[in-house]
Amino acid sequence: MDITTHAVRTERHETSYLECGPPDGPLMIFVHGWPALAIMWRGQLEHFAGLGYRCVAPDMRGYGRSSAPRAREDYAPEHIVADMVELLHGLGAERAIWVGHDWGSPVVWSLAGHHPELCRAVASLCVPYFANGFAPATLVPLVDRNVYPEAKYPAGQWDYQLFYEQDFEGARAAFEADLPATFKALFRSGSAKERGRPSPTARITRDGGWFGGTGRAPDLPVDPAVMSEDDLADYVAAFERTGFFGPDAWYVNNERSLEYAARVPDGGVLRLPVLFLHATYDVVCETVDSKLADPMRRDCTNLTEGVVDAGHWMPQERSDDVNAAIAAWIGTQAPAI
């Protein structure tokens, strides 16, 4: 099926999005994270469109051809959730199945908590639900101290998030120094050899920045399991327009994230159908062996869990497995859709 490009424009924001599938089909919205684009969901758009769903994948705030404001506070989660509410209304829909990955996961979790009436069901890949907000204050207490001894790794694998607050411009500059190298270095498939070992993200502050403090990414070959040469060209072109200011600004609104979460109704308990897919070889969002997913299990009353043998870029690396897991979950938990 053809994937087409559109936009929803309001007085406050413009969201560019990809669409595939019958316009009268049940709506699925796929929400990407850092530093991705809507095209990361191509495998899911085509698959579920073939099953009769109307599939939409937006470029999030700060990415692609969507609005990219130049104030860091404009990337607080409350604004990003409002973008998605406007997108839903702009599509002429009342509800959707929302699917999120990486930073897209806190977005769909927030939609489920603050706007459950807009959600038929919610699925998250890699990043579990935190009713208290997705921020270092909620993440660091759950660090696996067998892998990250506190004396050596006080913030565990979440150290990189603190670095954005300490040297925002330095982090941004390292990513922008060589865009092709940056994306080739970041978009790598998972490896069983890395399981149980400290993530490089635990050393960012100690190294003085990303990529070992060198100020630029190493020149690695493209990993075809995760990113094609054509996709690499699209990523470079998109980030030549926007840079990393917007994407990185998602990381410097931690207090606003906690304040927004504190206002969620019902103590943040989610009662709608929820799917969480663990990535076996994700060394940052490591949920298989650690306690990182425990708060989600407490706060989601209709939770289905699955495991995909992949790294963080699960939707690309194991597209068929992800699609099968989501389809099976919809069939059992939301068959009326």
Is 151 a residue whose pLDDT tops 70? yes
CA distance 89 to 83: 10
Q: Which two tokens stand for residue 289?
A: 């062996």
What are the residue boundaries of the structural domains of the chain, listed by start?
4-333
Confidence of residue 1 (pLDDT cuts 50, 70, 90): confident
Confidence of residue 337 (pLDDT cuts 50, 70, 90): low
CA distance 138 to 134: 7
Contact 177, 158 (CB under 8 A): no
Q: Which two tokens stand for residue 135?
A: 């921020």
Q: What pTM was computed for the model?
A: 0.98
Q: What is the pLDDT of residues 14-25, one digit of tens each?
A: 999 999 999 999
Contact 254, 135 (CB under 8 A): yes
Q: What is the pLDDT of residues 223-255, one digit of tens each?
A: 999 999 999 999 999 999 999 999 999 999 999
Contact 118, 88 (CB under 8 A): yes
The beta strands (E) that lie in 21-58 are given as: 27-31, 54-58
Q: Write the DSSP symbol of residue 60.
A: P
Residue 187 CB neighbour total at 10 angstroms = 24
Q: Which two tokens stand for residue 215?
A: 């100020």
Residue 108 CB neighbour total at 10 angstroms = 28
* pLDDT for the residue 336: 64
Is 61 a residue whose pLDDT tops 80? yes
* pLDDT for the residue 334: 73
The CA-to-CA distance between both ends of the chain, in Å, stands at 21
Is 71 a residue whose pLDDT tops 70? yes
**Mean pLDDT value of segment 127-154:** 98
Class for domain 4-333, per CATH?
Answer: alpha beta
